[in-house]
Structure 1
Amino acid sequence: MRAVVSIHDVMPETLAPVREQLSLLAHHDIAPVTLLVVPGRDWSPDGLARLREWRARGHVLAGHGWHHRATAVRGCYHRLHAAVLSRQAAEHLALDAAGIRALVRRCRTWFADNDLGRPALYVPPAWALGPIRPTGLADLGFRYLETLTAVHDLRTGRRRRLPVIGFEADTPARAAALGALDAVFGRWPGPVRIALHPRDHRLRLRGTLLRRLAAVRDPLDYDGLMAGADSA
């Protein structure tokens, strides 16, 4: 299997399970791993040093919202999205286009301000872009934008559609739904995205997760993934 592997929700309070997952991925010779960092949390000097260490080891940092929590629920779509998928994580859905742009700009600036480089990838929390088109973020410094259905190259306007396999099975209903999706997308003929959340390896689909990682033979980064991008 060809796959790009990411760990979502990298925050001060998730650094311990993220470290466990990186060890697990190293056991399966999966590298580099893309780490989706939430800047607006209470980062300590030690936490920032850990991010720098992971980056120095070859892992890739990416922007992932600001607080990773919506300040309000706006409208029926957001309410449905929260109930089915995102709970309270989809902070873009609580903002207008100007607010989204300000959040993304602030996210990118945080990395440079903390000696963490200039990440190429931005992923909205819960992959929920909100009321703005990908082109509306093209001038903010990120090269790639990942949504639920595709990865967008903001420089060229191209995109690549590919499935996401996830394992955040903290309820029986989520375990059933994610297990069914894994059964389908595990046979996908092209590359897939494997999206881990920090405690997935402790949850109901641990066995499925381990089997899927063992099947990865060709780990990709986002540059390699987008080399075969579809036309927008």
Structure 2
Amino acid sequence: MNAPDLLVSIHDVMPETLPRIRTLMEQLAAAGHHRPTLLVVPGRDWDREGLAQLAAWEADGVELAAHGWYHHVWQFGGLWHRLHGALLSRRAAEHLALSPEAILDRMRAAADWFPAHGLAMPTTYVPPAWALGRVEGGALARLPYRRVEVTGGLLEVRQNRLWRLPLAGYEADTPIRRLFLDGWNRIQEGRALHSQRPLRVAIHPRDAELALAGHLRVLLARGKATPRYAEYLPG
């Protein structure tokens, strides 16, 4: 059976999720996926042990990407944000509560956090829930990132060009989400095969314990790993 190439990322890398992230890394390596992109949330309460783990992964060639700042919303930014939260993001889409300048400030702070803690400056940014918010593509060129991941694909910042790539997710923590994601993922896998482009596989910390865990294991066993996000787009 044909299988698409896979561009694998692990979301929500925080101090409190590190035990699950370590387990996922072991499972991915066993399936032949040794260098997923790890989406790190800088604004959490990182200690020396957690930072040492990030540095060890980075030393092994794993890409660390910035993933918001808090990955949490305390107050919704209007009706659209409330609807987005109810249907998709819950309280993760922090950009939707911010002005354009505040979004850029938060993205810049996230980039600066990495070298301030002995890590390489990230070249990839992924807004929580892929919700970039009210930011024009040209404004992103003021930031140090090379690419920003959104629902539709990877946005190459310097050229303001979107590389469209299908996306699969497995955070099926309710029956409705399971039904939706099962159908969505089948469509996205078909798109990847038809277009001969990699399928982005977005893994969340609890996905190996949820309803679509079996589907995820089968896909990882079948699909070939592609380079990290930092290596996928041309320079």
Deviation at 1:49, TM superposition (A): 0.3
Q: Residues 69-88 of structure 1, C-alpha deviation per residue, up to 9 Å, x if partnerless?
A: 12311222111110111000
Q: Percent identity?
A: 44
TM-score (norm 2): 0.93
Deviation at 1:226, TM superposition (A): 2.3
Deviation at 1:160, TM superposition (A): 0.5
Deviation at 1:218, TM superposition (A): 3.8
Tell me the distance in 1 between the aligned counterparts of 2:141 and 2:66: 14
Does structure 1 conserve the Cα–Cα contact (< 8 Å) formed by 2:123 and 2:147?
yes
Counterpart amino acid of 2:95? H
Residue 64 (structure 2) aligns with: 61
Tell me the distance in 1 between the aligned counterparts of 2:164 and 2:133: 18
The ranges of structure 1 where at least 4 consecutive aligned residues each deviate by more than 3 angstroms after the TM superposition are: none
Does structure 2 conserve the Cα–Cα contact (< 8 Å) formed by 1:62 and 1:121?
yes
Tell me the distance in 2 between the aligned counterparts of 1:123 and 1:92: 11
In structure 1, runs of 5+ residues without a counterpart are: none
Does structure 2 conserve the Cα–Cα contact (< 8 Å) formed by 1:123 and 1:147?
yes
| Match among 109, 129, 143 for residue 132 of structure 2 | 129
Residue 216 (structure 1) aligns with: 223
Deviation at 1:158, TM superposition (A): 2.1
Residue 11 (structure 1) aligns with: 14
Q: Residues 93-143 of structure 1, C-alpha deviation per residue, up to 9 Å, x if partnerless?
A: 000011101101110110010011111100001000111122212111011
Residue 150 (structure 1) aligns with: 153
Number of residues of Structure 1 aligned to a counterpart in Structure 2: 228
Counterpart amino acid of 2:217? L
Residue 198 (structure 2) aligns with: 191
| Match among 32, 35, 38 for residue 32 of structure 1 | 35
Deviation at 1:219, TM superposition (A): 2.1
In structure 2, runs of 5+ residues without a counterpart are: none
| Match among 74, 79, 96 for residue 77 of structure 2 | 74
Residue 172 (structure 1) aligns with: 175
